[in-house]
Amino acid sequence: MAKAPIKVAVTGAAGQIGYALLFRIASGAMFGPDQPVILQLIEAPFEKPLAALAGVAMELDDCAFPLLKGIVQTSDASVGFKDANWCLLVGAKPRGPGMERADLLKDNGKIFIEQGKIIDAVAADDARVAVVGNPANTNCMIAASQAKRLTPDRFTAMVRLDQNRAQTQLAQKAGVDLTEVKDIFIYGNHSPTMFPSFAHATIGGKAAADVINDKAWLEGPFLETVGKRGAAIIAARGASSAASAANALVDHVRSLVTPGAIHSIAVKSNGLYGFDPEVWAGMPVRTTTPGAYEVITSYEMDDFAKSKIAATNKELVDERSFVASML
């Protein structure tokens, strides 16, 4: 028997990531080739993005995707999140000229407070939330802070782009196919302070550090390249990563609905790996049942890793304190 459609709400649907994302969701890449979807597309309440959204919806129609069972277009979040099983929070205000990070946090904080409240009020009982809009970890923490019905574990932020970037860098350095690289996980913030923990990664079943045999590269250029990849793409393209970010969100959700998948997501830390209990930090998880996961707690951290985790934790704690009065 055919499966019932699931409702997938996407904010910022007419933005660059939205344009690279919606067609993949509708094609089955995110939820599988037998799972019909209804897309509930949410944009800012302005003429230009809403007109662009109408154009994106026309293109979705024109793809004649067999799995796409409906499209909602709205600037009203209570309509867009209504009964949503997945809420993909991509839309956010970008940093303007001369704007401090704290101002960005506060402006986006208002958006994520509002969206957190509405999701908690109207989304489906099994709703899951994945945050992409930057600063993703703290926006996710803010949205989760507004929820009374939905528990904090339902709210995750995306560090999968960083994991994918790190995997490719290790494969290229070792000169192997990237499928040989396993167990590279991202700890902390989606920002240059993130820590891709190379000590536990393997290449072709052997410790990555032994295969690469270049500690200085791992502790220096590797971390720097992964941490600053977003900025390098902005410098090269004149716009932030979009196709790779959309692809990473497909991977994030696909892994979360696939029992047994092991992957990095940002979750409420609850004090694991030395993070402040109240911040959302990247860490390795294993998906248990579709949408649910357990944090893998067995990785030992050496002094180098502990110092990197302390630095990214400090940034997350600082971000939380910038917005504490709003929570």
Ligand X SMILES: NC(=O)c1ccc[n+]([C@@H]2O[C@H](COP(=O)([O-])OP(=O)(O)OC[C@H]3O[C@@H](n4cnc5c(N)ncnc54)[C@H](O)[C@@H]3O)[C@@H](O)[C@H]2O)c1
Ligand Y SMILES: O=C(O)C[C@H](O)C(=O)O
37 versus 136: smaller Cβ distance to ligand Y: 136
Which of 73, 86, 91, 163 touches ligand X (CB under 6 A)? 91
- Taking the complex as a whole, how short is the minimal distance between the CB of residue 95 and ligand Y, in angstroms? 8
- Nearest approach, Cβ of residue 140 and ligand Y (Å): 14
Residue 292 neighbours by CB distance under 10 Å:
15
Gap between the Cα atoms of 156 and 253, Å rounded = 10
* Residues in contact with ligand X, shown as a per-residue x/- string from 3 to 22 under the rule CB under 6 A: --------xx-xxxxx----
CB 157 within 8 A of CB 136: yes
Strand partners, 264: 284
Q: Smallest gap, in angstroms, from Cβ of residue 210 to ligand X? A: 30
Which residue lies nearer to ligand X by CB, 64 or 235? 235
Peptide bond before 97: cis, by omega within 30 degrees of 0?
no
Most distant pair of Cα atoms in the chain: their distance: 56
Q: Is 125 exposed, middle or buried (0-12, 13-18, 19+ CB in 10 A)?
A: exposed
92 scored as a contact of ligand X (CB under 6 A):
yes
- From the list ligand Y, ligand X, none, which binds 91 (C-beta under 5 to 8 Å, kind-based)? ligand X
DSSP-assigned beta bridge partners for residue 245: none
Q: Are the C-beta atoms of 89 and 143 separated by less than 8 Å?
A: yes
Q: Is residue 169 part of the contact set for ligand Y (CB under 6 A)?
A: no
Residue 134 binds to ligand Y (criterion: CB under 6 A): yes
Catalytic residue of the set 190, 200, 252, 263: 190
Question: Is residue 292 near ligand X by the rule CB under 6 A?
Answer: no
Q: Which residues are annotated as a binding site?
A: 12-18, 95, 101, 108, 115, 132-134, 165
Q: Which is nearer to ligand X, 71 or 203 (CB)?
A: 71
Contact between 190 and ligand X per CB under 6 A: yes
Report the DSSP pairing between strands 280-287 and 262-268. Answer: antiparallel
- From candidates 161, 184, 186, 201, binder to ligand Y by CB under 6 A: 161
Task: Candidates 208-216, 240-248, 258-266, 282-290: pick the segment binding ligand Y (CB under 6 A).
Answer: 240-248
Would you state the structure tokens that stand for residue 58, as one six-digit string? 């026309």
Identity of the amino acid at 122: V
As measured in angstroms, the least distance from the Cβ of 133 to ligand X is: 4
Residues of this chain, 217-236, that bind ligand Y according to CB under 6 A: 230, 233
Q: Does residue 241 belong to the site contacting ligand Y (CB under 6 A)?
A: yes
- Exposed, middle or buried: residue 179 (CB in 10 Å: 0-12, 13-18, 19+)? exposed
How distant, in Å, are the alpha carbons of 9, 54, 305 from that of 166? 29, 36, 16
Tell me how far apart the alpha carbons of residues 199 and 205 are, in angstroms, rounded to a whole number.
13
Return the closest-CA partner of residue 40 out of 67, 69, 15, 62: 69
Using rule CB under 6 A, residue 137 touches ligand Y: no
Sole window of 27-35, 85-93, 146-154, 209-217 interacting with ligand X (rule: CB under 6 A) = 85-93
Catalytic status, residue 200? no
User: Whole-angstrom Cα distance, residue 149 to residue 125?
Assistant: 8
**Catalytic residue ranges:** 190
Q: For binding to ligand X (CB under 6 A), which residues are involved?
A: 11-12, 14-18, 42-44, 49, 90-94, 111, 132-134, 136, 158, 161, 190, 240-242, 245
Q: For binding to ligand Y (CB under 6 A), which residues are involved?
A: 134, 161, 230, 233, 240-241, 245
